[in-house]
Structure 1
């Protein structure tokens, strides 16, 4: 009899715990507001800590406020197999985003404990602090936190990051101690937050990596003028130039073989009056892809397009970089293990990138990383309408458990 046939998580308990945690921070419309460092966040962390203890884990909080449950392994000093996610939400979030990965990790450990089993490696379940905003938790563990720039971490509460970490039992002064060099691998289970799995009628997504991001601000300066008295061929219309820029961003993304995404999500028009030719427009551009070469090519192509648009519309166009995040590929060996587990469990699956950021983005910089996606109904997330079926939650948790077991067998 194989390990796969005798070990499984308690699906009823997993879904009961998801519902229990959803009551903390729930608003009248059904959405959740559980911002990091708020009383609701602290209450939820306390409940998760209780479940970790019940699962047989030792629990600690590191300097970054990460809540870490540890189930010891058979081999002394073996590096840890880590899993987990976050339990903080956006201001109007759903009940599965982040939470599923944390609670499934706890259930995976409990499944081992209930059967008297230990892996060779210790298993850690991590609740990362403030994933939805500063990502201070995962950055501290990865060693990428800005130790000399606390002002860069603007929290969603009226308190500096130093005070916020102290609320959780952490310490900004000791933040460097949260860095880890003893992780054998990190595997994060998460709801897809997109529609691909549902559209393709697949149960599991095997994540190829977390995309990188190029984000910039474009300012287009023309000449504000009377909408009635300025002939069409004499205008310096900033909004016309902006419209061409929006289309150029779309065309650039569609032309790339790596299938990136690119979005203009913000526009500010000045003077924004019905009878005035727009004199200035500021807009945002967000480009995402797994390929750093593709991201660089897209950025260069955009700059060339902007030069041509400025000449055509007789405007001035300036581009200001705002954010550059390197993509993080998932380890090929971890992807292969997840695929093998899906095949053994007879679960349909496909490979896809994660185009949203996750704690795995940072963890993948220091250890072998993998992610497991399960479907999001209608692709909806960060909303009270966010939904993943109880069956899919259980499927994802079982894939996580078996992935940890198989990684334990092949990793040093």
Structure 2
């Protein structure tokens, strides 16, 4: 294990860190049992029994580590290590963590890795150095993925004010259960001991998130740590193409108003425009549905989705506007109707350069190969980054696979990310950055 330049790391503290590093791997395996699927993945959807059991298990672990534990109104779980500095009123807490929910039949590391690593990092720091100057907090956000209800970032969104409890009543899952009812059945939103008040916070000094990359860049470049420069903005669209359903045998080709053929041209056009725009812009048609489709019917009603991402807001917006015009032109030429509905509009967020520079210094001191890189996936850090300095640390994902039972990061790489987080939190809680007004 590299030790060069690690602040105040005695042989005893290094041995203690090794023990916490081993505990990280053990607890990741244990937490993956909550919501384990027979197929080998994990399904832990917001406010389900598996989700509740996992959050409660994490709360018990935080308590054993000596952290002050609380839930907020939407089920975000906090483990707090209070600061002791005389001028504590001027030092806002540093928050670190991720989310506990998963996609259906997802992997065991997405989100959970950052949560478990954060609480163990605070546990190690308390055991090795006592109470910090600045308050440090670990958080397990209640939701990020949008897997059960048709919205994302419910946990961090309520913390940052993007979401509110009032939204919960009008949102339902595929079984017709409202977000409000599910929340209250889980004991939140005013149904249990947690009061029905806003989860919004204005006291966070910085947010740091440790996460698997969910892509193949670090593995391909043979880097151990990714230092995220920015998180992409997203535009998610629903496109509906309307033509005329007709008999496949009796309708001549020139007379057809084929909605599926039009949609296919639009999807290929989107790919061509995205390739022309170049990296880091990406555009994906992820789902297509043919209404009342049959082998002997010219399709008259087709819907498909588009997901467009880029790290620069003006570039993303310009591409979207041009794409919309181009899709409408295809529809006019083919005598089709088109309806474009925007379901998600998230602006890109730059990560904090000062914290990122500190991560780079820690990697160089520890001899860990690193890469500065954008994040092509959305994370809680992009919401926190709009209200406070935020940073992200990535570790490699084998073959770039995520949201799958095949999601995997080696123990060595998981520990490398964990120890990088430990030294970063030391700097802001105990070390040379502890008195900085971030």
Same fold at TM > 0.5: yes
SS in 2 for 1:178: coil
CA displacement 1:41-61 (0-9 Å, x = unmatched):
222122211221222211111
* Structure 1 residue 2 displacement after superposition: 4.9
Q: Distance in 2 between matches of 1:125 and 1:302?
A: 41
* Structure 1 residue 162 displacement after superposition: 3.3
Given that residues 380 and 387 in structure 1 are in contact (C-alpha distance below 8 angstroms), is that contact kept between their aligned partners in structure 2?
yes
Given that residues 48 and 186 in structure 2 are in contact (C-alpha distance below 8 angstroms), is that contact kept between their aligned partners in structure 1?
no
Moved more, 181-190 or 343-352: 343-352
1:370 counterpart residue number: 391
Q: Distance in 2 between matches of 1:183 and 1:330?
A: 15
Candidates 311, 319, 326, aligned match of 1:298: 319
2:284 counterpart residue number: 263
Q: Distance in 2 between matches of 1:166 and 1:242?
A: 42
Given that residues 210 and 329 in structure 1 are in contact (C-alpha distance below 8 angstroms), is that contact kept between their aligned partners in structure 2?
yes
Q: Distance in 1 between matches of 2:366 and 2:8?
A: 8
2:114 counterpart residue number: 101
SS in 2 for 1:183: coil
* Structure 1 residue 388 displacement after superposition: 0.9
Given that residues 262 and 330 in structure 2 are in contact (C-alpha distance below 8 angstroms), is that contact kept between their aligned partners in structure 1?
yes
SS in 1 for 2:163: coil
* Structure 1 residue 120 displacement after superposition: 2.0
Candidates 121, 128, 133, aligned match of 1:115: 128
Candidates 2, 7, 25, aligned match of 1:3: 7
CA displacement 1:209-266 (0-9 Å, x = unmatched):
2222111122222222332333333322222211111111112222224521111112
Q: Which runs of 5+ in 1 are unaligned?
A: none
1:63 counterpart residue number: 73
Candidates 178, 186, 193, aligned match of 2:199: 178
1:92 counterpart residue number: 105
Given that residues 231 and 376 in structure 2 are in contact (C-alpha distance below 8 angstroms), is that contact kept between their aligned partners in structure 1?
yes
Q: CA 1:165 to 1:246, structure 2 compared with 1: closer, same or farther past 3 Å? A: same
Given that residues 105 and 125 in structure 1 are in contact (C-alpha distance below 8 angstroms), is that contact kept between their aligned partners in structure 2?
yes
* Structure 1 residue 153 displacement after superposition: 4.1
Matched, 1:393 2:414: yes
Alignment length (residue pairs):
412
Q: Distance in 2 between matches of 1:157 and 1:172?
A: 23
Q: CA 1:305 to 1:119, structure 2 compared with 1: closer, same or farther past 3 Å? A: same
Q: CA 1:336 to 1:153, structure 2 compared with 1: closer, same or farther past 3 Å? A: farther
What are the residue-to-residue correspondences of 1:238-387 with 2, within 5 Å? Answer: 238-387=259-408
Given that residues 140 and 175 in structure 1 are in contact (C-alpha distance below 8 angstroms), is that contact kept between their aligned partners in structure 2?
no
Given that residues 224 and 271 in structure 1 are in contact (C-alpha distance below 8 angstroms), is that contact kept between their aligned partners in structure 2?
no
What are the residue-to-residue correspondences of 1:150-229 with 2, within 5 Å? Answer: 150-154=168-172, 159-171=177-189, 176-229=197-250
Root-mean-square deviation over aligned CA pairs: 2.2
* Structure 1 residue 357 displacement after superposition: 2.1
Candidates 161, 166, 173, aligned match of 1:148: 166
Q: Distance in 1 between matches of 2:94 and 2:71?
A: 18
Matched, 1:136 2:146: no
CA displacement 1:172-197 (0-9 Å, x = unmatched):
59555321111111001011112221
* Structure 1 residue 271 displacement after superposition: 4.1
SS in 1 for 2:166: coil
Q: Distance in 1 between matches of 2:251 and 2:177?
A: 51
Matched, 1:34 2:38: no
* Structure 1 residue 395 displacement after superposition: 0.4
Q: CA 1:346 to 1:142, structure 2 compared with 1: closer, same or farther past 3 Å? A: same
SS in 1 for 2:188: coil
Q: Distance in 2 between matches of 1:316 and 1:144?
A: 34
SS in 2 for 1:341: helix
Given that residues 170 and 179 in structure 2 are in contact (C-alpha distance below 8 angstroms), is that contact kept between their aligned partners in structure 1?
no
Given that residues 44 and 51 in structure 2 are in contact (C-alpha distance below 8 angstroms), is that contact kept between their aligned partners in structure 1?
yes
Given that residues 143 and 176 in structure 1 are in contact (C-alpha distance below 8 angstroms), is that contact kept between their aligned partners in structure 2?
no
1:15 counterpart residue number: 25
Q: Distance in 1 between matches of 2:31 and 2:7?
A: 31
Q: CA 1:274 to 1:160, structure 2 compared with 1: closer, same or farther past 3 Å? A: closer
Question: Structure 2 length as normaliser, TM-score?
Answer: 0.88
* Structure 1 residue 279 displacement after superposition: 2.0
Q: Which runs of 5+ in 2 are unaligned?
A: none
